[in-house]
C-alpha cells in the first residue's frame, strides 16, 4: 500500500490490531442534455486484468495528503485526469464508510484496507463530450427509473415495485408503512426529495442487486458484479456509487427550492421554457407553466435581455440571464415547484 494513501488508526484496545483506512473521493457530476438530467460515469479498469468494469460508476480516486492540499483539489485533479472534464460548481455531499459498501479497494490502492468515501456534487451547464475511454454521460433515470414523474405516475411503481415490496414486507405493518410512504403507494403522496430513502429501502429488501454483492464482500468474498434484477429496479453501479448518486439527487432536488443552484445547470442565456425544463428534469415532476413563471418573476432571479431566441422551433421566446451579481448583496432563494395537477 502506498503510505501516502492510508491513514492508520490507533491500535484497537481489544485486539491490539491496526486498521488501515483509505480516504476515497467520489463525484456526482450533473448536467442537462436535450432536456434530460445526466450524470458523468466511468467504467474503472481492474487493477490486475486491466478489463473495464461491466457496471458504470462515478469518477473516484484516492485522496493523497501529500499531493492534495484539500479534498476538493484532489477531487478536481483526478476527475480531470479520468474524464478530461473540468469541474465547475462543487459542494461536499456526505461521508460514506459502511463495511462492504466501500469504494473498490484495488482501484484506490488500499489492499485490504477499509475505505471511507467522501462524496461531492458537481454541476455544469453543458455535458461536454470528454472523449476519455470508458467515460460517458448517462441519464440518471437508468439508475432510478421510478424517480421520473414528468409524464405522470410511472406504471412500474404499481406493476413491479409495489408487488415486490409487499412480498418483502409480508405481514410486517411497519415495513409496509415505510414502503408505502416512500414510494407513494396506496394513496400516499409522492415526495421527490426522498430519493436516498427509496434506494435504501430497495437495498434493505434485497431488490437492489448491490445488496447481495455487498453482503458477500463484507464476509471476505470477492463476488462478480451483479446484473440488474429488472428494468423497473434500475441499473446497479460499482461499489457504493448508486447510493452516493441517490444522495446527490436528493440533495439537489431539495436545494433548488432554497438556493439558486439550478442556474449552475443553465447556459448564460436561456428562455423561461428552458429553465422550466431544467427544473423538471432535476425534480422529476411536471410544473405549471404560468405559475412557474410567476415564481421566477417574484424571486427576481432573472432579467430579460430584450432579445429573442429564434432557435426554439416555434414562436421566438425572450432570452433571460441569471442575475448572479445579486448574490453579493442578498441571500438569494431558490425556486418553489408549482406542480401541474391533473
Domains annotated for the chain, with CATH where assigned, are 3-137 (3.90.79.10), 144-236 (no CATH), 259-328 (1.10.10.10)
In this predicted structure, what is the pLDDT of residue 98?
Answer: 66
Q: Which three cell numbers stand for residue 252?
A: 439537489
Confidence grade of residue 138 (pLDDT, cut at 50, 70, 90): very high
Query: Which three cell numbers, joined as nine digits, stand for 159?
Result: 406493476
318-326 contacts at long range (C-beta below 8 A, 24 or more positions apart):
318/271, 318/272, 319/269, 319/270, 319/271, 320/269, 320/270, 320/271, 320/272, 320/275, 321/268, 321/269, 321/270, 322/260, 322/263, 322/266, 324/263, 326/300, 326/301
140: pLDDT confidence band, cut at 50, 70 and 90? very high
Q: Are 88 and 128 in contact (CB under 8 A)?
A: no
311 pLDDT higher than 70: no
**The pLDDT of residue 241:** 92
- Which tens digit of pLDDT belongs to each residue from 65-121? 888 888 988 888 888 888 888 888 999 988 876 665 554 443 444 454 677 888 899
CA dihedral 145, 150, 151, 157 (to 10 degrees): 40
pTM: 0.88
Taking residues 49-78, report their average pLDDT: 87
Could you report the per-residue pLDDT of 154-202, keeping only the tens digit for each? 999 999 999 999 999 999 999 999 999 999 999 999 999 999 999 999 9
Rounded alpha-carbon distances, angstroms, from residue 23 to 34, 42, 108, 180? 36, 19, 9, 36
Beta strands 20-33; 302-309: pairing state: unpaired
**Residue 312 banded pLDDT, cuts 50, 70, 90:** low
| Confidence (pLDDT) at 18 | 54
- Asked whether residue 246 carries a pLDDT value surpassing 70, the answer given is yes
Amino acid at each position: 500500500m502506498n503510505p501516502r494513501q492510508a491513514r492508520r488508526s490507533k491500535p484497537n484496545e481489544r485486539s491490539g490490531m491496526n486498521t488501515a483506512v483509505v480516504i476515497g473521493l467520489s463525484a456526482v457530476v450533473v448536467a442537462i442534455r436535450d432536456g434530460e438530467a445526466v450524470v458523468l460515469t466511468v467504467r474503472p479498469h481492474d487493477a490486475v486484468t486491466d478489463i473495464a468494469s461491466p457496471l458504470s460508476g462515478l469518477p473516484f480516486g484516492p485522496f493523497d495528503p501529500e499531493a492534495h492540499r484539500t479534498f476538493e483539489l484532489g477531487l478536481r485533479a483526478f476527475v480531470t485526469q479520468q474524464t478530461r472534464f473540468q469541474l465547475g460548481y462543487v459542494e461536499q455531499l456526505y461521508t460514506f464508510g459502511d463495511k462492504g459498501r466501500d469504494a473498490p479497494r484495488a482501484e484506490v490502492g488500499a489492499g485490504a484496507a477499509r475505505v471511507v468515501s467522501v462524496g461531492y456534487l458537481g454541476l455544469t451547464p453543458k455535458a461536454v463530450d470528454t472523449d476519455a475511454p470508458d467515460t460517458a454521460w448517462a441519464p440518471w433515470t437508468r439508475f432510478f427509473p421510478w424517480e421520473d414523474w414528468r409524464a405522470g405516475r410511472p406504471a412500474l411503481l404499481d406493476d413491479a415495485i409495489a408487488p415486490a415490496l409487499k412480498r418483502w414486507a409480508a405481514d410486517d405493518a411497519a415495513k409496509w408503512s415505510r414502503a408505502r410512504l416512500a414510494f407513494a403507494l396506496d394513496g400516499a403522496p409522492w415526495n421527490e426529495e426522498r430519493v436516498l430513502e427509496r434506494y435504501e429501502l430497495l437495498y434493505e429488501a434485497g431488490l437492489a442487486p448491490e445488496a447481495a454483492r455487498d453482503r458477500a464482500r463484507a464476509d471476505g468474498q470477492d463476488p462478480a458484479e451483479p446484473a440488474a434484477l429488472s428494468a423497473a429496479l434500475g441499473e446497479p453501479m460499482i461499489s457504493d456509487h448508486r447510493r452516493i448518486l441517490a444522495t446527490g439527487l436528493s440533495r439537489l432536488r431539495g436545494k433548488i427550492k432554497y438556493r439558486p443552484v439550478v442556474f449552475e445547470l443553465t447556459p448564460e442565456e436561456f428562455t423561461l421554457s428552458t429553465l422550466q425544463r431544467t427544473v423538471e428534469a432535476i425534480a422529476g415532476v411536471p410544473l405549471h407553466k404560468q405559475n412557474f413563471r410567476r415564481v421566477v418573476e417574484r424571486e427576481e432571479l432573472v432579467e430579460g435581455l430584450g432579445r429573442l431566441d429564434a432557435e426554439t422551433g416555434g414562436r421566438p421566446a425572450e432570452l433571460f440571464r441569471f442575475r448572479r451579481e445579486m448574490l453579493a448583496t442578498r441571500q438569494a432563494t431558490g425556486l418553489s415547484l408549482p406542480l401541474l395537477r391533473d
